[in-house]
Structure 1
Amino acid sequence: MTDIEALYIFDAHNNCILEHVYASRPPPARTVLPLYLAHPSPRPSLLHLPNTTPPVLLYSLVQDQLLFLSPHTSDTEPLLVLEFLHRVADALEDFLGSPLLASRIESRYDVVAQLLGEMCDGGLVASTEPNALRDLVSTESWVGKVMGGLGLPGASSFKHPVGPPPSLPPVPWRRANVRHTSNELYVDIVETLLVTLSPSGLPLRATANGTIAFTAKVSGVPDLLLSLTCAGGGKQAVEKTVRLPVFHPCVRLARWRERPGTLSFVPPDGRFVLAGYEVDLLAGRGLGGDVDIPTPNAVGSKGGSSGAAASAAKLNIPAAVEVQTGLGPSGSEFEVSLFLSPRSMSSSASSSSSSLGGASTPSGSGGSGGGRPGLNRGLSSSGSNPLAALSSFSSAGTSQAPTLSDILVRIPLPPSVKSLPEIRPSRGEAMFAAADMAVEWRIASREVTGLMGAGRSGGGRGAAPAATLRCAVVGMVSDDEDEEGEEEDGDAVGGGVAQWTGGRVAETWEYDDPSAMAVSYQNEPALTGQNKKRARKDAVEKERERDERRAKQNAVLMPSGAIVSFQVKGWLASGVRVESLNVDTRASRGLGAGVTPFKGVKYLTVSDEGVESRC
């Protein structure tokens, strides 16, 4: 049984730009594509197509508007095929450049054919490591490209010599004979928050997905030892905090099982993802600070429950929101309150003290969280690459002084909302995106710094919101529905005036402004004091019923929650941090005597629409 039978690549217009068959006789691309497109969107990564002969299992991947399909006529391991598609997309991006375009694949098909042949041989997955593929795949040098572009003869002589492929290096994921003038080791830990808060402030879920990105620019074959720690310290703390770990093939799993938190490995050359993990922030462990959820509901203030929410699990959330709906006389307004918690980062920073085991750090960098030069060099900005989040790093934001920035509050609205005549933010800028049916509220970094400073000076539980946003909505209600609502009150609609007959009371209603209702009583002999009171009571009751009816109509226009996006440099929500990074000189080869690599660590917490507050 083979692992991979075929690989088809389609461009953004569903034109097949590559069709590579490894084994068996799978259906051609022109047969598979219509069956794939016939499935309603969103399409899963694995589809069963029973209408073909024989039936086909179709694996798919979409990257940079290119569609990768792999049909299989027999049963195979799904994760193996999906991982192979991801490896192929990453390899093409590495060799052809980012973003991955159809024109680049068509213009350099010689390189693409070599890649596909080296990555899968006769249907069996072979070498998929980028460093090994660099030694196996022959590419045209830059001199050949220049001469070929000028049309000069002899351009082909500048290509790599064609001959038997070189043997794989002793370490498959590392290129042979690696040489660097500057020896540098960088560790970047990026955590993505996924938090959902109930209307009472009680957390429904709170997880942090971490990625440990490593950049190795060291000559020879270094043998490294990276030690992680977390709040509480010790082997058991890391084992209980870091859940579902995944590792690069270079990591020695036996060492991790023996001592959780210790990664022993020979790194590939360049940047790569060393490990990934998940932390459950509601499990009671892995909390980097003793901080409650920064919402008024969590401290038993107005609008929340003082029981369950006050005793909710303590989380590290620097920013959260609360939404109040149905405000105003007719219930057509809502208010979003933004709460910041500087204690979450200050407490975490004060407890963060680690050593890199002889690391060379810039002066004033603050140890493991110190800034380092050239962090953005060579890092990919691909949306599918976990390393893309590192491109937002800057010299600001260390473990000693974390910085909160890029706050964006997004309030989705129902499709029945027509417009927002009033949008009043106390800080930042807000706008209504009609295409997305959402209000986007942005607060600049300089304003966030001022708000965080105010939060520290006046910090404490039950503090006022750092900023508020109040909006009024208008729905798509037809005139006929309005007329029916007014006629239900027994009023005659005509020029905006309704009069009561019967020889006792004449009443004037101005529907454009309900607060401007005026009641005039005629001086008739039959109008007694009791009738006057009854008329006033009836008028007030009808006005109240009208407001209730309008409030019910506006209730369907209110948002169901708000989502917060932000990033914190120099701080991790889980409390995981690097304790040391050492080079085993006895096991390393080719490093050079007396060479001490430069070492640096960066922390980043990202909430890409990850903190949701429901109402």
Structure 2
Amino acid sequence: MSQVEALYIFDEHNNLILEHVYCARPPSAQLLLPLYLAHPAPRPSLVYLPATNPPTLVHSIIQDRLLFLAPSSVDTEPLLVLEFLHRVADAIEDFLGSPLLATKIEAHYDVVAQLLGEMCDAGIVANTEGNALRDVVEAPSVMKNLLGNMGLPSSSPALGARPSLKPTLTPPGSSPTASPVPWRRANVRHTSNELYVDVVETLSVTLAPSGRPISAFANGSIAFTSKVSGIPDLILRLEAPGGVGNVVQLPVFHPCVRLARWRERPGELSFVPPDGRFVLAGYEVDLLGPDYLLSAHNLKGSANRPSLNIPANVEVKTGLGPAAADFEVRLSLSPRFRSTASSSSTSSISSSGIGPGRPGPGLGGRTGSGFSLGGGAHSGTSAAPQLSDVLVRVPLPAGVRNLADLRPSRGEAQYAPGDAALEWRVSSKDVAALLQLGMGAVATLRGAVVGAVEGDDEDGEGGDGALLGTS
């Protein structure tokens, strides 16, 4: 059985801020950290340390510049431990607020200790749902801290109430109003019933210097915010050209989703949502199709290139300038991804717990059963998606010693001597300004190469391509 032996949290300066041992006798944080840091960067999520006794497998994640380590000296499912670390980081951030800072953890050790005790018991992962944790863990509050500093109890009986002569002892974790749904709080009440849905996709596209796509994937997540009283039973229908079942690959779901319903009707999500914000589902889409690599060698010329309907395109030009040492990276944005408020969506939702189980309107509309449905912080829709950020990564040959005089027209370019790639990040503000230009939405990055470039690919299809990642 998979076990979590211990959890160590370090700040950005590698100082230990929290140590929690669940079971066994794992290596101490002082012994584990130097061995982990001795591994060359970039460090993977799993690092095997044979020098310890017994040999230890270290699971690690980094969130908000905080390092989370979980050692394991027995046979353990790595994905379970890594997911547990992500759940711990999310739970602490949910209770203490975002961003997750070392000072917040140090100021609320009592809350963090309660969370760690509820989420894992003797090494066995237990309660990791945010709604259920709020029923058993008392969140910090300004009034509680103020009364505690004054030496007063944080809660006092009502005036005129008769004091109890026989105090009762309630078993820990038990509640007379426990929710029948494990992932949803009990007795949820809201003044207005609202549902918000955000479909966020991160595109990762690899292009050759000639512009031919090598790989293109879209990793999406459905962020759901539920502010509905009672216990609603919802149905969310997704639509896509060719059918959702033929487009969506590797779907993952929140435990609230009924998997049998999805298998019977792909694209239909039936669930009782947690209260608040959560990730309902995730998926992956191969934008080039499963047979692209097999048929890519038969494509000759630019006329036979597959057309990608992506929000941005990158073109790299080299050999510029008097010494042929200058280069230019051109980023073109599609005006289709300029946000508009009048577009419709291809998602619909119905509720069998609040109103009739009829399909509702698209995102941003209002149903006839008394609750509103709309998008969250992003105003894009399926017909007119909104582009948030663009990251262009240009791998560099080994012969490049340095890049000089980097001049981006928009955004920021990051490079240090010895780096294997040049990164150019265009923020949401710059993206919005470019999209206002319409068809002329082009940003450029110019610079000069210092050092001889060896092993150039003459046909322009080599490995020194440009990796375009958008989110």
TM tier, smaller: 0.7 to 0.9
Q: Look up the match of 2:275.
A: 269
**C-alpha spacing 1:249/1:448, structure 2 compared with 1 (3 Å):** same
Q: Which amino acid in the other structure matches residue 188 of structure 1?
A: D
2:316 corresponds to 1:323: yes
Q: Which amino acid in the other structure matches residue 275 of structure 1?
A: A
> Which runs of 5 or more structure 1 residues have no equivalent in the other structure?
286-304, 365-369, 377-392, 455-465, 478-551, 566-606, 609-615
Q: Look up the match of 1:248.
A: 254
Q: Distance in 2 between matches of 1:310 and 1:337?
A: 21
Q: Which amino acid in the other structure matches residue 201 of structure 1?
A: G
Q: Distance in 2 between matches of 1:5 and 1:184?
A: 41
In the TM superposition, what is the alpha-carbon distance from 1:431 to its structure 2 partner? 7.3
Report the 3-state secondary structure (helix = DSSP H, G, I; strand = E; otherwise coil) of the residue aligned with 1:110: helix
Q: Look up the match of 1:48.
A: 48
- The counterpart of 2:174, out of the listed 148, 166, 188, is 166
In the TM superposition, what is the alpha-carbon distance from 1:352 to its structure 2 partner? 5.9
Q: Look up the match of 1:449.
A: 436
Q: Distance in 2 between matches of 1:25 and 1:55?
A: 12
Identity of aligned residues (%): 58
Q: Look up the match of 1:420.
A: 405
CA RMSD between the two structures: 3.9
Report the 3-state secondary structure (helix = DSSP H, G, I; strand = E; otherwise coil) of the residue aligned with 1:14: coil
Report the 3-state secondary structure (helix = DSSP H, G, I; strand = E; otherwise coil) of the residue aligned with 1:155: coil
Q: Look up the match of 1:333.
A: 326
Q: Look up the match of 1:358.
A: 360
Report the 3-state secondary structure (helix = DSSP H, G, I; strand = E; otherwise coil) of the residue aligned with 1:229: coil
Q: Distance in 2 between matches of 1:31 and 1:560?
A: 41
Q: Which amino acid in the other structure matches residue 129 of structure 2?
A: E
**C-alpha spacing 1:142/1:440, structure 2 compared with 1 (3 Å):** closer
TM-score of the pair, normalised by structure 1: 0.61
Q: Is the 8 A contact 1:185 1:217 kept in 2?
A: yes
Deviation per residue, 1:111-157 (Å, 9 max, x gap): 122111111112211111010000011345442223234x2x32344
Q: Look up the match of 1:230.
A: 240
Q: Look up the match of 1:603.
A: none
> Which runs of 5 or more structure 2 residues have no equivalent in the other structure?
158-167, 292-297, 350-358, 367-371, 458-462
2:209 corresponds to 1:216: no
- Give the alignment of 1:23-38 within 5 angstroms: 23-38=23-38
Report the 3-state secondary structure (helix = DSSP H, G, I; strand = E; otherwise coil) of the residue aligned with 1:211: strand
Q: Look up the match of 1:282.
A: 288
**C-alpha spacing 1:219/1:173, structure 2 compared with 1 (3 Å):** same
> Which has the greater radius of gyration?
1
2:287 corresponds to 1:312: no
Q: Is the 8 A contact 1:145 1:155 kept in 2?
A: no
Deviation per residue, 1:485-514 (Å, 9 max, x gap): xxxxxxxxxxxxxxxxxxxxxxxxxxxxxx
TM-score of the pair, normalised by structure 2: 0.77
Q: Which amino acid in the other structure matches residue 275 of structure 2?
A: D
- The counterpart of 2:190, out of the listed 164, 180, 189, is 180
**C-alpha spacing 1:339/1:29, structure 2 compared with 1 (3 Å):** closer
Q: Distance in 2 between matches of 1:200 and 1:564?
A: 14
2:60 corresponds to 1:60: yes
Higher-RCO chain (CA-CA 8 Å, sequence separation at least 6): 1
Q: Is the 8 A contact 1:430 1:439 kept in 2?
A: no
Q: Distance in 2 between matches of 1:353 and 1:107?
A: 46
Q: Distance in 1 between matches of 2:363 and 2:180?
A: 32
Q: Is the 8 A contact 2:211 2:314 kept in 1?
A: no
In the TM superposition, what is the alpha-carbon distance from 1:308 to its structure 2 partner? 3.8
**C-alpha spacing 1:350/1:200, structure 2 compared with 1 (3 Å):** farther
Richer in helix (by share): 1
Report the 3-state secondary structure (helix = DSSP H, G, I; strand = E; otherwise coil) of the residue aligned with 1:103: helix
Q: Look up the match of 1:119.
A: 119
Report the 3-state secondary structure (helix = DSSP H, G, I; strand = E; otherwise coil) of the residue aligned with 2:303: coil
**C-alpha spacing 1:241/1:162, structure 2 compared with 1 (3 Å):** farther
Q: Which amino acid in the other structure matches residue 224 of structure 2?
A: F
Q: Is the 8 A contact 2:403 2:450 kept in 1?
A: yes
**C-alpha spacing 1:24/1:362, structure 2 compared with 1 (3 Å):** closer
Q: Which amino acid in the other structure matches residue 8 of structure 1?
A: Y
Q: Look up the match of 1:258.
A: 264
Q: Distance in 2 between matches of 1:127 and 1:342?
A: 46
Report the 3-state secondary structure (helix = DSSP H, G, I; strand = E; otherwise coil) of the residue aligned with 1:445: helix
Q: Distance in 1 between matches of 2:335 and 2:140?
A: 53
Q: Distance in 1 between matches of 2:263 and 2:237?
A: 13
In the TM superposition, what is the alpha-carbon distance from 1:66 to its structure 2 partner? 2.0
Report the 3-state secondary structure (helix = DSSP H, G, I; strand = E; otherwise coil) of the residue aligned with 1:115: helix
Count of equivalent residues: 425
Q: Distance in 2 between matches of 1:110 and 1:162?
A: 21
Q: Which amino acid in the other structure matches residue 46 of structure 1?
A: L
